[in-house]
């Protein structure tokens, strides 16, 4: 793949880079190849889309009854007799998510299903408050502006800062940053930089908690990459959009229709057990209904799903690849609690609030401030819908205790909720996010494997591009499709990323000359 500057970028930042696929035909010709896409999350949907749109016969296998993976939703009944939608929790659609937005434009070219929230506010139990709305979005003034405007940085903190330790952040190259920082924890890097505790809790741990990980376990390279994506690599900053309606209605139901129009078969509630060699080439994908032959396979699974399928498929990949997949780890468990309350929260509460110092509570969303379904329920009942997240809980945590504790912490943040009656409550306890552990980069799979007809996609995948979280899932899905299309002489998907280097030539030179890591 080739990187080019950002002419014609579908977004605000004109310095983004294009990832240009190899030239080829617009569609497959002759014998139409068949591909099994295993996993119906963002990565699998991206791969299935790029393949189906170019004439490949695609069958998408999804274990759950709904599409979307970790951004899915499903219907639930409330005690008051009304129906609602539950999900695995709030997701922020940042403006740097170029490839995810390109995917969503398939069903809504104007992205009308999204709406912007005015700020990314942060609040510490000590009373400190911060946010990103007033921070300049042009690098490097974005990073400098955050330090200058943030109340978590004081004059007394400046002498303790060690700029030399922070210089590697000024010139991030995806592969190089993992070579330099993957064996260091995010916690230790912040220690080496001398960041004040308040700034660490309010700002930088936002990045590590986004990975559902404790900073002591998270690779510093991943945190540095996030810093680059949001502060020094793009001008979109940390402002984001949210879906106007629950995930199924806003995103995935229309998307399933789009896949159907391009001939893809979507098989939900279908768990793939194994992938076996085909009797005359290709692969047999085995599920409860039997084994079906395909020319190629996209493995777009979460960590446990990938380990499971690979472990039950002794002929997939080579021995080294299989061993590396077996060593992949999942992040600690997390809890999402959604409450339907009989009264509103106080006027002026933000739609989303990041929190620190309130025990396990990491953020609070007032869904009825921005999601249509929740807003309609609140208008009809006079109540509100609130969602709470607790990331990276101890493996020894007791679910019922944590659920009660999380609600008690909400009462500290928004005291008016103490008097509210809970009309309905739903709790999701999950432990299926990838853990980007210290020193783990070398074990993570790449899109391509030793078998050119087997590719891997997902947010756990190494792409050598400056992407993360949902954007890494979408990007890797498109890259997986491109790898297969290239084999058939078909032009793949054109992708976009923030530049894979610091935007300031002066700061890049300083980082290379004086950086200590």
What averages of pLDDT result for each successive group of 10 residues across the chain (517 residues)?
45 76 92 97 98 98 97 96 95 94 95 93 84 68 62 60 68 84 90 73 62 86 87 81 97 96 97 95 95 98 98 96 96 96 97 92 96 98 97 92 97 97 97 94 96 97 94 98 97 93 67 56
DSSP 8-state secondary structure symbol assigned to residue 104 = H
Alpha-carbon distance of 1 to 475, in angstroms, equals 13
CB 99 within 8 A of CB 469: no
Phi, psi of 310 (to 5 degrees): -65, -40
Q: 268: buried, middle or exposed (CB in 10 Å: 19+, 13-18, 0-12)?
A: middle
What pLDDT was estimated at residue 383?
98
What pLDDT was estimated at residue 152?
60
What pLDDT was estimated at residue 500?
85
What pLDDT was estimated at residue 404?
97
Q: Which residues pair with 25 in a beta bridge?
A: 490
**Nearest-5° Cα angle at 334, 329 to 340:** 155
Q: In whole angstroms, what separates CA 86 from the centre of its chain?
A: 19
**Which two three-digit tokens encode residue 2?**
């080739």
**Which two three-digit tokens encode residue 52?**
């189906």
Alpha-carbon distance of 294 to 291, in angstroms, equals 10
DSSP 8-state secondary structure symbol assigned to residue 203 = I
Alpha-carbon distance of 118 to 97, in angstroms, equals 18
Cβ atoms < 10 Å from Cβ of 208: 27
CB 171 within 8 A of CB 508: yes
Q: Write down the residue that tokens 């994908």 correspond to.
A: 285
First CA to last CA distance, the chain? 29
What pLDDT was estimated at residue 513?
60
Cβ atoms < 10 Å from Cβ of 80: 14
CB 437 within 8 A of CB 303: no
CB 282 within 8 A of CB 31: no
CB 146 within 8 A of CB 202: no
H helix runs in 414-468, sequence order: none
Strands 122-124 and 352-356, by their bridges, are: parallel
Question: Count of residues for the chain?
Answer: 517
CB 83 within 8 A of CB 377: no
Alpha-carbon distance of 410 to 271, in angstroms, equals 37
Composition of the chain by helix, strand, coil, percent to 5: 35, 20, 40
Q: Which residues contact 296 (CB under 8 A, 6 or more apart)?
A: 33, 34, 35, 36, 282, 283, 453, 454, 455, 484, 487
Between 303-311 and 319-326, two packed helices, what is the crossing angle to 10 degrees?
Answer: 140
Which residue from 11, 203, 237, 210 is spatially nearest to 134, judged by alpha carbons? Answer: 237
**Which two three-digit tokens encode residue 172?**
């991030």
């Amino acid at each position: 793949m080739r990187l080019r500057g950002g002419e014609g970028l579908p977004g605000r930042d004109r310095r983004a880079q294009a990832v240009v696929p190899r030239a080829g035909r617009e569609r497959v010709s002759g014998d139409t190849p068949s591909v099994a896409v295993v996993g119906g999350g963002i990565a699998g949907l991206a791969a299935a889309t790029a393949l189906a749109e170019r004439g490949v016969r695609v069958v998408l296998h999804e274990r759950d009854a709904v599409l979307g993976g970790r951004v899915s939703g499903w219907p639930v009944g409330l005690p008051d007799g009304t129906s609602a939608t539950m999900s695995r929790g709030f997701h922020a659609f940042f403006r740097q998510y170029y490839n995810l937005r390109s995917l969503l434009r398939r069903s809504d070219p104007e992205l009308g299903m999204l709406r912007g929230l005015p700020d990314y506010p942060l609040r510490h139990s000590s009373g400190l408050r911060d946010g990103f709305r007033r921070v300049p979005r042009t690098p490097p003034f974005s990073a400098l502006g955050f330090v200058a405007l943030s109340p978590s940085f004081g004059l007394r903190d400046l002498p303790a800062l060690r700029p030399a330790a922070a210089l590697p952040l000024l010139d991030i190259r995806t592969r190089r940053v993992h070579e330099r920082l993957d064996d260091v924890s995010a916690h230790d890097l912040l220690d080496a930089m001398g960041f004040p505790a308040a700034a660490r809790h309010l700002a930088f741990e936002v990045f590590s908690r986004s990975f559902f990980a404790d900073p002591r376990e998270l690779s510093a390279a991943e945190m540095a990459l996030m810093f680059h994506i949001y502060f020094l690599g793009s001008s979109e900053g940390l402002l984001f959009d949210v879906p106007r309606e629950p995930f199924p209605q806003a995103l995935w139901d229309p998307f399933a229709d789009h896949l159907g129009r391009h001939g893809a078969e979507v098989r939900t509630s279908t768990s793939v057990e194994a992938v076996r060699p085909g009797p005359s080439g290709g692969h047999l994908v085995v599920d409860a209904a039997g084994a079906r032959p395909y020319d190629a396979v996209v493995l777009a699974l979460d960590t446990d799903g990938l380990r499971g399928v690979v472990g039950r498929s002794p002929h997939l990949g080579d021995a080294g690849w299989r061993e590396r997949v077996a060593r992949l780890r999942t992040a600690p468990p997390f809890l999402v609690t959604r409450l339907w309350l009989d009264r509103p929260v106080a006027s002026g509460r933000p739609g989303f609030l990041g929190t620190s110092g309130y025990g396990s509570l990491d953020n609070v969303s007032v869904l009825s401030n921005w999601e249509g379904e929740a807003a309609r329920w609140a208008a009809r009942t006079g109540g509100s819908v609130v969602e709470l997240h607790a990331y990276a809980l101890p493996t020894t945590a007791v679910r019922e205790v944590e659920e009660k504790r999380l609600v008690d912490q909400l009462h500290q943040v928004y005291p008016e909720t103490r008097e509210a009656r809970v009309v309905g409550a739903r709790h999701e306890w999950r432990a299926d996010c990838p853990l980007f552990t210290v020193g783990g980069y070398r074990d993570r799979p790449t899109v391509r494997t030793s078998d050119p007809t087997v590719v891997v996609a997902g947010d756990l995948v190494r792409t050598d591009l400056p992407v993360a979280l949902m954007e890494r899932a979408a990007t890797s899905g498109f890259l997986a499709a491109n790898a297969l299309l290239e084999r058939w002489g078909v032009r793949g998907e054109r992708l976009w990323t923030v530049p894979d280097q610091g935007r300031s030539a002066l700061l890049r030179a300083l980082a290379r000359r004086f950086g200590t890591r």
